[in-house]
Structure 1
Amino acid sequence: MIHLIVGPAAHGVTAYALQLADALGTVDIVREETFTEAPLPDGPIHVAFTDHLFGAGPDAAVETLLARVGERPLSVSFHDVPQPEEGAERFARRAAAYQRLAAAADVVGTNSEHEARFFDAPSSVIRLPIPQVHSEFDPEPGTVGVLGYLYPGKGHEYLIAALDGSGYRLRFLGAVSKGHEAWAEELARHAEITGWLSDDELAAEMGRIEIPVCAHRHFSASGSLMTWLGAGRTVLATDSDYTREIDAWLPGRITRVSGSWRDAVDAFQPEVLDPPRYGWADVATAWEDAWHSAGLE
């Protein structure tokens, strides 16, 4: 299996691809910071796909990728799967491209059952790994924390509005995504933004948070949620198909919020549990099983 890995290492999808390749051991890798049209080696190709890493638009991304792969067998790990909530026009454009790529692939992998239901083509559900985060629990009273890159749609604004005047202190652990600097300046008037953190710094900052929150308005997979769970933390998270799915898989770790965030934060009782054991070795084995079932070795 040849792994075509595209994008900057700090990008979540690229990081997933790099970590999967590392977990698999000795694999052939074609590594590109920016997607090119250079010829690929012969053999099955695996890609971790999100459209903006592969082209100027979703149609162009899929068209160029399929042309480059040619007749080789293709395996795709799909990320940022389209959702209607992103807007009718954008959703229609991205949905058509993702469906076309899935139909052309020999193996389709998604991170959740919620995402799998989007595709017409059958897919293997291979959940995001839960990292083992060694975070000392030493919370500062009244702190509410959101983890990961900052960009619109993760619920930062809704938390600010819900907790305004409450006495809680909002801390956003992560860097601002490129292009959203002006938006983040407004957030910084109401919350602390740490900026980029190393793994050790992140673990320490997580331990300072009393109430971990995943307030995404619409999400179908979440590395941020997995990271909180990997620290053994119980989490407040928006009620959704995805969080109901994870709650059924790992009961007792998520408190789902469908009403008032202020009421949910007031009522939350933080706990630290033994973290779930599901890591990159499990993800790699699941991918190997999917390739074996499809005759791709």
Structure 2
Amino acid sequence: MKHLIVGPDGHGVTDYALQLAKTLGVVGTDVVREETFSDTALPDGPIHVTFTDHIFGASPSEAVDALLARVGERPLSVSFHDIPQREEGAERYQRRADAYRRLAGAAALATVNSEHEAAFFDDTATVIRLPVPRVDSSFNPEPGTVGILGFLYPGKGHEDLIAALRGTGYRLRFLGSVSAGHEKWARGLEKDAEITGWLSDGQLAREIGRTAVPVCAHRHFSASGSLMTWLGAGRNVLASDSPYTREIDAWLPGRITLVSDGDWCRAVDNFTPRTMEPPRYGWDEVAAAWREAWAACGLT
């Protein structure tokens, strides 16, 4: 299996692809690594791609056209990320949905990260959950701190949390970098919250340990590396009530407190920080699931 890995270092989808290849022991010419998608000829044999449309083309349709043209007759395995959601707006959703479904139909194997995402493909996609990476974080929570981790962008709940906790005395800390193109929006958050900027793995582990109330406040999400990072540090988490978080709560019970819209202040007030043994589901388990899925489709 050859791996076509496209996108900038530090992008969540790119990082997933790179870590999967590393765990599988895929090296050398079996990895085609590109910062920007090209039309360079691919090696023969099955091709695995980790896909989100904006990395592969100017529009969802163009992204799929370009990828399928480059893959040609080779068997294709696709790991789908950033699955279209109706909350994006009807026009954008339809453009992306048509493209994603067309690519899935052309693939020998289509995978997603959650059952919620599989429903988008009418449950024809295989579910391989995001790993829960073990984070060695010293538990030393600072009273009154409330944190969201990961890239900052609109819709991830930063503004909702600010509005809910304004005037309460809680100290909001957003652990991560601002996504490109959202710098002006993020500056508007700084009067109410601290934004740490980019953090190394060690720095992030320390900041996780300093945070009393871990939060995942996404308005609409169907998979979350940020949530998995909190869980990998052995933390209990407040998370927006959604089909996805209910799914993860059922999979890993006792680690997530689901929060309804408008109920963040009460949830934070009633939260008790604690640590527990992180779930045993890391990259080795994810790689094993991929091997099993490829074998079932005759892809090796």
Return the offset for 1:121: 6.6
Alignment of 1:156-171 (within 5 A): 156-171=158-173
Equivalent in the alignment of 1:257 = 259
Report if aligned partners of 1:99, 1:120 keep a CA contact under 8 Å in 2.
no
Equivalent in the alignment of 2:13 = 13
Q: Are residues 1:235 and 2:250 paired?
A: no
Instruction: Describe the SS at the equivalent of 1:35.
Output: coil
Alignment of 1:69-108 (within 5 A): 69-108=71-110
Calculate the TM-score normalised by the size of structure 1: 0.99
Equivalent in the alignment of 2:42 = 40
Q: Which residue, out of 264, 267, 271, partners 1:268?
A: 271
Cα separation, 2, equivalents of 1:83 and 1:123: 16
Calculate the TM-score normalised by the size of structure 2: 0.98
Cα separation, 2, equivalents of 1:2 and 1:211: 42
Question: What runs of 5+ residues in structure 2 fail to find an aligned partner?
Answer: none
Cα separation, 2, equivalents of 1:56 and 1:283: 31
Cα separation, 1, equivalents of 2:207 and 2:296: 42
> Structure 1 runs of 4+ off > 2 angstroms?
none
Cα separation, 2, equivalents of 1:46 and 1:180: 31
More displaced stretch, 63-72 vs 264-273: 264-273
Alignment of 1:83-232 (within 5 A): 83-120=85-122, 122-232=124-234
Q: Which residue, out of 265, 282, 286, partners 1:283?
A: 286
- Say how many residue pairs are matched: 297
Return the offset for 1:26: 3.2
Whichever residue aligns with residue 291 of structure 2, its letter is E
Cα separation, 2, equivalents of 1:240 and 1:204: 29
Whichever residue aligns with residue 101 of structure 2, its letter is Q
Q: CA-to-partner distance for each residue in 1:152-182, whole Å, 9 max, x for gaps? A: 0100000000000000000000000010000
Return the offset for 1:120: 3.8
Equivalent in the alignment of 1:22 = 22
Cα separation, 1, equivalents of 2:99 and 2:22: 29
Q: CA-to-partner distance for each residue in 1:89-136, whole Å, 9 max, x for gaps? A: 110110000000000000011000000010147111000001110101
Instruction: Describe the SS at the equivalent of 1:226.
Output: helix
Whichever residue aligns with residue 235 of structure 1, its letter is V
Return the offset for 1:270: 1.5
Instruction: Describe the SS at the equivalent of 1:56.
Output: coil
Whichever residue aligns with residue 191 of structure 1, its letter is A
Whichever residue aligns with residue 26 of structure 2, its letter is T
Question: What runs of 5+ residues in structure 1 fail to find an aligned partner?
Answer: none
Instruction: Describe the SS at the equivalent of 1:141.
Output: strand
The structure-2 alpha-carbon separation of the partners of 1:9 and 1:293, relative to structure 1 and needing over 3 Å to count, comes to same
Cα separation, 1, equivalents of 2:207 and 2:234: 14
